[in-house]
């Protein structure tokens, strides 16, 4: 092999190595959420849950981040949500419960912390609500629609092949039978019992006591405190000060925010496509979701 050939091969290898290293660095920049950043000063962490609970990943990421920070002894979870999908609410509940076993977590309820919004609050160390906060709504809802008549009017026929009589239960293109109703009601009832049990465990109250008010009713913050669903009436600032006290911080605690998650544009593209099917289009195609949601 000639000297010139060796130099060319070596140049190609070096170029490929540099290109690979650069690619790894760029990928790291895109996907890095900043969770390895250490906080040196003592303070109280703040996590916000706003709007519908459709996904749990970001809230769980922030809880895990603050759990790793030795200087953060307590966190305030600000909840302003009407609730949302069952599974993400349960996942956040489980993570809040784990966090509360190791560090203090104080919930501050905003204008609305109902259904799934209350569910994720239940296992916290302490719950603050404003007197006029709308909360509770301990219940499960499943909404279905039927467009069979509309399809007949516009001359569209639908055909379904299935492996069992329940496989298309809740389909918008066929009549909803009593068997369908009984089967889906049993699932809703079971999910409701999970909600009741979770609240009872989180609030350290008897299941029967929670069941008495677990009929979907909404309560004001003041009413909720009377029923022991809330510990204290107060503002976000009151919750922050309480978190500081429980963390052993003298004076007004400094509020610390989790690092922002860096944008992954590929994920945004995928989520956008998912949103098309989970939104109005998904509903029109017969999407079924059980919700911990205040109506």
Residue 14, both tokens: 């070096």
Residue 18 lies in a domain: yes
Q: How far apart are CA 202 and CA 94, in angstroms?
A: 10
- List CB contacts of 21: < 8 A, sequence separation 6 or more: none
Residue 15 lies in a domain: yes
% of the chain with per-residue pLDDT over 70: 76
**Residue 115 falls in the annotated catalytic set:** yes
Contact by Cβ (8 Å): 214, 192: yes
**Domain span at residue 12?**
1-31
- Indicate whether 48 and 137 sit together in one domain: yes
- Element at 282 (helix H, strand E): helix 280-284
Which pLDDT belongs to residue 4? 57
Count of domains observed in the chain: 2
Q: How far apart are CA 83 and CA 42, in angstroms?
A: 32
Q: Rounded to whole angstroms, what are the CA distances from 106 to 3, 100, 249, 266, 280?
A: 70, 9, 15, 35, 36
Assign residue 134 the CATH number of its domain: 3.90.226.10
Residue 29 phi, psi (nearest 5): -65, -40
Q: How far apart are CA 140 and CA 118, in angstroms?
A: 13
Which pLDDT belongs to residue 258? 92
pLDDT surpasses 90 at 175: no
Which pLDDT belongs to residue 9? 64
Q: Rounded to whole angstroms, what are the CA distances from 220 to 41, 98, 109, 133, 230?
A: 37, 28, 11, 5, 10
Q: How many Å is the maximal CA-CA distance in the chain? A: 89
pLDDT surpasses 60 at 97: yes
Residue 215, both tokens: 């009929």
Q: Which residue has the higher pLDDT, 124 or 272?
A: 124
Give CA torsion, residues 93, 123, 52, 254, to 10 deg. Answer: -110
- Indicate whether 159 and 201 sit together in one domain: yes
Express each pLDDT in 116-153 by its tens digit.
Answer: 999 999 999 999 999 999 999 999 999 888 888 888 88
**Residue 167 falls in the annotated catalytic set:** yes
- Element at 90 (helix H, strand E): helix 86-100
Q: Rounded to whole angstroms, what are the CA distances from 200 to 4, 197, 205?
A: 77, 5, 5
Contact by Cβ (8 Å): 121, 113: yes
Instruction: Name the band, by pLDDT with cuts 50, 70 and 90, for residue 274.
Output: very low
What is residue 287's DSSP assignment? Answer: -
How open is the CA angle 56-60-66, to the nearest 5 degrees? 160
- Indicate whether 6 and 113 sit together in one domain: no
User: Of the listed 57, 165, 167, 228, which one is catalytic?
Assistant: 167
Express each pLDDT in 239-252 by its tens digit.
Answer: 999 999 999 998 88
pLDDT surpasses 90 at 22: no
- Indicate whether 9 and 59 sit together in one domain: no
What is residue 48's DSSP assignment? Answer: E
User: Of the listed 56, 81, 108, 115, which one is catalytic?
Assistant: 115
- Indicate whether 81 and 201 sit together in one domain: yes
pLDDT surpasses 50 at 282: no
Which pLDDT belongs to residue 292? 73
- Indicate whether 102 and 152 sit together in one domain: yes
Q: What is the pTM of this model?
A: 0.79
- Indicate whether 153 and 26 sit together in one domain: no
- Indicate whether 26 and 59 sit together in one domain: no
Strands 43-50 and 218-220: unpaired
Which pLDDT belongs to residue 28? 47
- Indicate whether 229 and 120 sit together in one domain: yes
Give CA torsion, residues 172, 175, 179, 180, to 10 deg. Answer: 10
């Amino acid at each position: 092999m000639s000297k010139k050939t060796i130099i060319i091969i070596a140049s190609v290898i070096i170029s490929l190595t540099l290109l690979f290293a650069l690619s790894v660095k760029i990928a790291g920049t895109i996907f890095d959420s900043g969770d390895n950043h250490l906080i040196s000063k003592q303070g109280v962490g703040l996590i916000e849950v706003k709007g519908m609970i459709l996904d749990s990943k970001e809230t769980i990421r922030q809880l895990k981040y603050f759990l790793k920070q030795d200087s953060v002894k307590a966190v305030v979870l600000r909840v302003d949500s009407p609730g949302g999908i069952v599974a993400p609410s349960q996942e956040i509940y489980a993570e809040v419960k784990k966090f509360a076993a190791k560090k203090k977590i104080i919930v501050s309820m905003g204008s609305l912390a109902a259904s799934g919004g209350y569910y994720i609050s239940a296992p916290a160390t302490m719950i603050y609500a404003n007197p006029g906060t709308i909360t509770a709504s301990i219940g499960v809802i499943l909404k279905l629609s039927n467009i069979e008549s509309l399809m007949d009017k516009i001359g569209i026929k639908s055909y379904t092949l299935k492996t069992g009589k329940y496989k298309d239960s809740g389909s918008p293109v066929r009549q909803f039978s009593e068997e369908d109703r009984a089967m889906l009601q049993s699932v809703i009832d079971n999910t409701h019992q999970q909600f009741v049990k979770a609240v009872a465990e989180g609030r350290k109250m008897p299941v029967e006591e929670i069941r008495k008010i677990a009929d979907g009713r909404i309560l004001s913050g003041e009413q909720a405190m009377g029923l022991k669903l809330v510990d204290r009436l107060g503002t976000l600032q009151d919750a922050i000060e309480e978190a500081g006290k429980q963390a052993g911080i003298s004076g007004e605690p400094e509020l610390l925010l989790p690092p922002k998650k860096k944008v992954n544009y590929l994920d945004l593209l995928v989520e956008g496509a998912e949103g098309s099917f989970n939104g109005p289009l998904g509903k029109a195609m017969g999407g079924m979701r059980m919700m911990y949601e205040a109506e």
